[in-house]
């Protein structure tokens, strides 16, 4: 059987002309190097529509409008941790548009938004933020020689029973630390172990297990 290929509009017109002249469908198929079924379907389409061109394939009609799509995007930007089901319910309540959760996710993917695990950060008060900003401003022009004289120390509490981390947040590429995409949490839930250590540009201290509370006197 000849290899099937797509016919051009010119070939379709030639095929219809040969068929009208009494040439059989198999012979027309041989002349155009296509399967006989291609010519048979072309003949049926010509008799039904009077045309040889293929009908435009529009695909499945789009359920949401551009306004609905903007509404979906705006909901996620305003509340990064909203689920697709929450957004679907809001869309239905606001615009009376009924869609599936997968449709919501598809629209968000078109806007470059993907569900990712949020960065976990400690809750900071206004005083915390002001103190950190002041420290950065004071040391922004320090040279490498000055930093070499500094020993950075910190203690860390390792939780023995962490959360499962199933919460997701919608964000674009490069928005990992964007406002609303960071999950604030209270630290040290469940059992834990505290350790202390320090580093500088030249050395690092051993990692020390801290028994009890690390007060300013012990520090």
Nearest 5°: phi and psi at 77?
-65, -35
**What is the reported pTM?**
0.45
Under a CB-based contact definition with an 8 Å cutoff, are residues 111 and 68 in contact? no
Give tens-digit pLDDT for 125-137: 899 999 999 999 9
Write down the pLDDT at residue 5.
60
* Across 69-78, 180-189, 196-205, least confident range: 180-189
Average pLDDT rounded to a whole number, residues 69-85:
92
Average pLDDT rounded to a whole number, residues 179-206:
79
Average pLDDT rounded to a whole number, residues 81-89:
92
For the four alpha carbons of 155, 156, 160 and 161, in that order, the dihedral sign comes to positive
Write down the pLDDT at residue 152.
92
Residue 57 has pLDDT above 70, yes or no: no
Confidence of residue 2 (pLDDT cuts 50, 70, 90): very low
Give tens-digit pLDDT for 32-48: 888 888 888 888 888 88
What percent of the chain clears pLDDT 90, i.e. is strictly above it? 35
């Amino acid at each position: 059987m000849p290899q099937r290929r797509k016919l051009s509009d010119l070939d379709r017109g030639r095929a219809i002309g040969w068929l009208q002249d009494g040439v059989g469908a198999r012979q027309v198929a041989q002349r155009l190097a296509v399967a006989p079924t291609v010519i048979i379907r072309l003949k049926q389409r010509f008799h039904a529509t009077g045309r040889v061109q293929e009908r435009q394939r529009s695909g499945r009609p789009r359920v949401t409008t551009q306004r609905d799509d903007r509404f979906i995007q705006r909901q996620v930007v305003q509340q990064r941790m909203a689920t697709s089901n929450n957004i679907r319910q809001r869309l239905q309540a606001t615009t009376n548009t009924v869609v599936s959760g997968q449709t919501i996710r598809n629209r968000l993917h078109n806007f470059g938004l993907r569900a990712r695990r949020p960065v976990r950060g400690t809750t900071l008060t206004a005083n915390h933020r002001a103190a950190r900003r002041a420290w950065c401003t004071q040391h922004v022009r320090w040279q490498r020689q000055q930093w070499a004289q500094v020993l950075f120390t910190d203690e860390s509490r390792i939780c023995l029973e962490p959360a499962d981390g199933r919460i997701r947040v919608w964000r674009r590429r490069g928005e990992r630390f964007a406002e609303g995409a960071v999950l604030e949490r209270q630290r040290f839930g469940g059992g834990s172990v505290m350790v202390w250590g320090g580093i500088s540009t030249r050395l690092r201290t051993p990692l020390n297990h801290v028994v009890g509370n690390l007060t300013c006197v012990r520090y």
